[in-house]
Structure 1
Amino acid sequence: MSVNGPLLRDHCDLRSVATSPLLSVYSEDLGRQVGWNTVFLAQYVGPLLIYLVFYLRLASVYDDATKRRRHQVVDLACFCHSLHYMKHLLETLFVHSVSDGCTPLGSLLKVCAFYWGFTCWLGYYINHPLYTPPYYSGKQVIPSLVCFLICECGNLCINISLARHKQTRNELTHPTSTSNPFTWLFTLVHCPQYTYEIGAWLALSIMTQTVPVAVFAGLLTVQMLLWARRRQGRYLRKVKNARRFWRTAVIPFLF
């Protein structure tokens, strides 16, 4: 085994690994580690609480003299943002099977800096007393809100379907659609959970018509496209029923 060889599991019997005298096992100090469950909880709890600080318009955030009555879209944006992260928190606790492994502390800091930092940026602008509502008002807000709620429901259904698929220990087959219409996207893309996640953030950016949300949605879209392509590659290498010429990674018929 080379120095850059595969890592061993946290709990491993060396006798089951070192089956040959030519095999070498190297040790390496990985530094401070944190569990994945901690990473996901910090990733979602932070934005949920930070956004509410701006929504409540505390005196230390905005000048009291500039306080005005909130536009309805500001209340809807807070509802959507809170719903999104509360859903992710509940999924982390009750749906996903979080790995027992660990990740470097630096990864946790990077994730928190990204999500918490962008939440401060978009929360400040959306909840600012001088915030300007979307140009087309209700004609722009209502369809975006409906699209957001559909994507959130779809993402939840896909995550539940993936969790059940793993619980059956049937990882060698591609998840298939069920009677639930939200799962029918499995027939077109390999990673519909990312499709719905991207759709939700794009809908929120249109609903609020703010640059910070659009930038955040764009960066998340790029990242999820990369994740989807990697997962698609694993499906195509290991799963027989994953090969369908019309099935793309995340955007039907395109990507």
Structure 2
Amino acid sequence: MVSITVSAAAKAPSFARDLPISVEVEEGSTIGELKQKINRKFPKFSTSRQKITLKGDRKPLDDATKIETVFGGKLEGAELQVKDMGPQISWKTVFLIEYVGPLIVHPIFYYFPKVFYGRDFQHSALQKYVFAFVMLHFLKRELETLFVHRFSHGTMPFLNVFKNSFHYHVLSGLLLAAHVYSPKYAAGAPAIVGTYRDNATFLKVATAVWAFAEVSNFHTHLTLRNLRPAGTKKRAIPAGYGFNLVSFPNYFFEILGWVVISVMTNSIASHFFVVVATVTMAAWALKKHKNYKKEFGKEYPRSRKAIFPFIL
């Protein structure tokens, strides 16, 4: 057994005011096991709230990392810091909360137009198609969260759920629903009659492209799931459908599906959502693409782009 010092990286939380403390660890102990010892010392300091770092460093140490490797095998006199990350919530719960917003908001606007627009009216074929697309998309996302996705991180700060939900509840929920299901796009409205929005062939082609994007997105999620065995954080280079061109075809197909809705409606609300979603996912893709190349080095395909084939 070796004793190492654990101090507070910032102000010690009220339930761990005895920091710094000495913790005895066995040879081969991991950061995760150290967290468990800290939790036993301070029961309210759950392992999910703890961020363990080297003294003076901000980069968190992975739970699977052996403590002795952090210090080159010399544990005597070693010191690590712990920071309280605040109340946590599981990623799965966050996703479920995010995606349920549009599933509630869109039916309210669609089925109760008199409440929002002062009168009832007949929905156009366009509105019916968009409503079906949105509901099926977010139902798919909920089911994927429950039965497909495997998360590399168990939790995230609780307050992030509000920030993350804004994108879905407000932009693809409230903003999109209020505009697309308005009388402007109702059956018989000038924006519909005699335009491509009322063309049966156009709507069928749009449906085919949208369905292609959704099925392709689902396929890439299955590929990513199969890369990570249950209960592990294993990472591997994805390959196959979509991945041969870009690192994150799931984002590309997601964007394609929303672009279809944007083209169908030519709604400023849908255009705005597509722009925000594209910029957001492109930023995620570029960051993760860089991490892939750094992690796998020469093994990672050099010609592969981040999100848009042959472009970005």
Q: Could you tell me whether the CA contact under 8 Å between 2:227 and 2:235 is conserved in 1?
A: no
Deviates more, 1:106-115 or 1:146-155: 106-115
Q: Is residue 128 of structure 1 aligned with residue 182 of structure 2?
A: yes
Q: Equivalent residue for 1:95? A: 148
* Residues 71-101 of structure 1: per-residue CA shift (max 9 Å, x gap): 0010100100011101111110000113452
- Structure 2 unaligned segments of length 5 or more: list them: 1-53, 186-190
Structure 1 letter corresponding to 2:287: R
Distance 2:85 2:93 in 1: 18
Q: Structure 1's 100 and 187: CA in aligned 2 closer, same or farther, altered over 3 A? A: closer
Q: Higher helix proportion, which one?
A: 1
Structure-1 residue corresponding to 2:118: 63
Instruction: Please give the per-residue CA displacement for 1:9-50, whole angstroms capped at 9, x wherever unaligned.
Output: 679997897862343222323222211111100010111111
Contact kept, 8 Å, 2:258 with 2:274, in 1: the verdict is yes
Kept in 2, the 8 Å contact 1:36–1:99? The answer is no
Between the two proteins, what is the percent identity of the paired residues?
27
State yes or no: 1:21 paired with 2:97. no
> Whose strand proportion is higher, 1 or 2?
2
> RCO higher in 1 or 2 (8 Å CA, sep ≥ 6)?
1
Measure the CA separation in 2 of the matches of 1:55 and 1:95: 30
Distance 2:105 2:78 in 1: 50
Provide the secondary structure at the position in 2 that maps to 1:130: helix
State the Cα distance separating 1:175 from its structure 2 match.
1.7
**Could you say if the C-alpha distance between residues 114 and 229 of structure 1 is closer, same or farther in structure 2, counting changes exceeding 3 Å?**
same
Partner of 1:80: 133
Where does residue 49 of structure 1 map in the other structure?
104
Partner SS, residue 302 of structure 2 = coil
Q: Write the distance in 1 (CA, Å) between the matches of 2:239 and 2:62.
A: 30
Contact 1:145 1:207 in 2 (8 A): no
Q: Quick check: 1:162 aligned with 2:224?
A: yes
Paired position in structure 1 for 2:301: 243
TM-score by length of 2: 0.71
Q: Is the CA contact (8 Å cut-off) linking 2:68 and 2:75 kept in structure 1?
A: no
CA distance in 2: counterparts of 1:36 and 1:7, whole angstroms: 18
Q: Does 1:208 align with 2:270?
A: no
Q: Do residues 234 (structure 1) and 291 (structure 2) align?
A: yes
Structure 1 gaps, min length 5: 178-182
Native 8 Å contact 1:140 1:206 kept in 2: no
TM-score (norm 1): 0.86
Counterparts of 1:132-143 in structure 2, within 5 Å, are 132-133=191-192, 135-137=195-197, 138=199, 140-143=202-205
Larger radius of gyration: 2
- Residue matched to 2:41: none
Contact 2:98 2:165 (8 Å CA) reproduced: yes
- Whole-angstrom distance in 2 between the partners of 1:35 and 1:251: 30
